[in-house]
Amino acid sequence: MNIQEFIETSGVLEEYVMGTLNEQEQQGVECMAQTYPEIQTELQKLQISLEKYVFLHERVPPASVKEGLFAQMTFADENEEESPSIYIDDQYDTAEAEMTEAYIAPKAKQVFPIWGVASIAASVLLLVATGWLYTQNDTLRETNATLVNEVEAVEVSNLKDANLLAAYANPANKIVTLKGLDIAKESSVTIFWNQNNNQVALKVNNLPQPAADEQYQLWTIVDGNPVDMGVIDNNFQEKLLAMKAVEGSPAAFAITLEKTGGSPTPTLEEMYVMGEV
Amino acid sequence: MATKTTKYSEEELIASLKRNQRDAFEYLYDNYSAALFGSVCRYIPDEEKSADLLQEIFLKIWKNIGKYDSSKGRLFTWMMNITRNTCIDLLRKEKGKYHVDVQDNIIQVDAKTHHQPNVSVMDLREILEKLRPERKVLLDLVYLQGYTQEEAAEQLAIPLGTAKSRIRVALKELKIYFEV
């Protein structure tokens, strides 16, 4: 359990100093305070704050109170026979009954009955467990958020794979593989050309990432002339990209690197991949 | 405030109180009675009855000082607990007799605070103005007037959770204002 977090967020210490905890909970906090100096320090701070707050609401009592009070009191340095300890013994029952509610500090040598000790232990355990659960809950929340993101990512990639599979599986599709030319031999692009409606989609398997002001452009070669098939989004990884529909009877597909937005005619020196139909 | 020149540290004071020395109890009374009386008056608006109760409270403090354990909390906190419990006991015994509406009580008691606080207290009062009224009212009800958090929430017609969090924030603010 993170003690600092417990101090700042549990609210238990505030309830303790406000006097709103029940007796067992109070004892639990006292046990914790003896184990953790940070808790002791925080309790002191809270108590001093409240003390100062109460002093803002001071009202001077009538002078008669002090006189009446001290007339009823006897002191060690004045009259030994009537020390307050004897007084307490005489009125033990009433005094004790009153004090069970009134005071928070049990006598140092007081022996707790076994159930008392057990209940204190239970309270402390509960507090510790609450603190731990709180931390745990936070961790779980984080983990949960991470998992949600991961699941979303997996779903998206799954969808892409599904699209890709569908593209391969579709019997109407003619698949043309464009292979890397000398400029980048490792390059590879797959074209899916739907023979029914001439729609074209492509999947970049491997192409060097273009500069910010450059873009790849797809071409068909129809009757020996290049025909523009559209530019390829630079964010092409792992995607099935829809291109323009084929017109006429292309002999080959090719991709060149052009300025962003594409060119009316291909820059042949910058041709990366080509595949014959 | 203090009529004696003797100045005690908290440890010295506690030790002398436990030895049942008159000077220590006089010092205690002179320095703390107004603070405790301010709280008693919040419970019981009847000044005469409050004065009787204050006497009863100090007698309890005197009789039970031997049981006070400084490792479990500050002396003043212990005295405030005795004050709270004595007042609540009386209110229970004489149920209905001292019932005062929450809002009335606050206004009434504040209006009755007629003694002149010293300068440092005035400064602190200014600091306190910063405490948001909806938080202050809860702090007062629960700490100075002995309401349970449930009762205070009910009185103010707000959810218990809201009451609890306002009290927590108020305490955090007090810590900052008083630079504890």
In this predicted model, what pLDDT tens digit does every residue of A77-130 receive, in sequence order? 765 544 454 444 444 444 444 444 444 444 444 566 677 777 777 777 777 777
Q: Does B141 touch chain A (CB under 8 A)?
A: no
CATH code for the domain in which residue B140 is found: 1.10.10.10
Q: Same structural domain for residues B96 and B155?
A: no
CA atoms within 13 A on the CB side of A247: 7
Q: Which residue reads 């479990």 in tokens?
A: B72
Give pLDDT, residue B14: 95
Please indicate if any CB of chain A lies within 8 Å of the CB of B130. Answer: no
pLDDT digits (tens, 9 = 90+) for A26-83: 888 888 888 888 999 999 999 999 998 888 888 999 999 999 999 999 988 765 544 4
> Which residue would you say has higher pLDDT here, B170 or B120?
B170
Residue of A nearest to B52 (CA): A65
Is B37's CB within 8 Å of A59's CB? yes
Which band of pLDDT confidence, cut at 50, 70 and 90, is reported for residue B104?
A: very low
Residue type, A240: L
The answer as to whether B4 is a domain residue is: no
The arithmetic mean of pLDDT across residues B5-25, rounded, is 89
Question: Cβ of A31 under 8 Å from any chain B Cβ?
Answer: no
pLDDT-based confidence at residue B51 (cuts at 50, 70, 90) = very high
DSSP A104: S
Q: Distance (Å, rounded) from C-alpha B163 to C-alpha A95?
A: 34
| Cα A19 from Cα B142, distance rounded (Å) | 9
Residues B33 and B95 in one domain: yes
Residues B65 and B136 in one domain: no
Total-model pTM: 0.53
Which residues on A lie below 8 Å from B108 (Cβ)?
Answer: none
pLDDT at A113: 67
pLDDT tens digits along A134-159:
777 777 777 777 777 677 667 666 66
| A242-256 residue pLDDT tens | 899 998 899 999 999
Q: Chain A residues with CB inside 8 Å of B117's CB?
A: 56, 58
Domain count, chain B: 2
Q: How far is B121 from chain A (nearest CA, A)?
A: 6
Q: Do A77 and B22 touch (CB under 8 A)?
A: yes
Q: Which domain holds residue B130?
A: 123-178
Question: Are B110 and B155 in the same domain?
Answer: no
Mean pLDDT (chain B, rounded): 81
Mean pLDDT across A220-237: 90
pLDDT surpasses 70 at B116 = no
CA distance to partner chain B, nearest, from residue A90 (Å) = 12
Query: What's CA A204's distance to the chain center, in Å?
Result: 35
| Cα–Cα distance list, B72 to A55, A175, B77, B81 (Å) | 21, 82, 10, 13
**Would you state the pLDDT for residue B19?**
93
Say yes or no: B41 and B82 in one domain: yes
What angle do helix axes B75-93 and B10-18 make, rounded to 10 degrees? 60
Q: Are residues B105 and B41 in the same domain?
A: yes
Whether B27 shows a pLDDT value over 90: the answer reads yes
DSSP H stretches of helix in chain A = 3-9, 12-18, 23-35, 37-55, 63-72, 84-90, 92-102, 114-169
Give the ipTM: 0.80
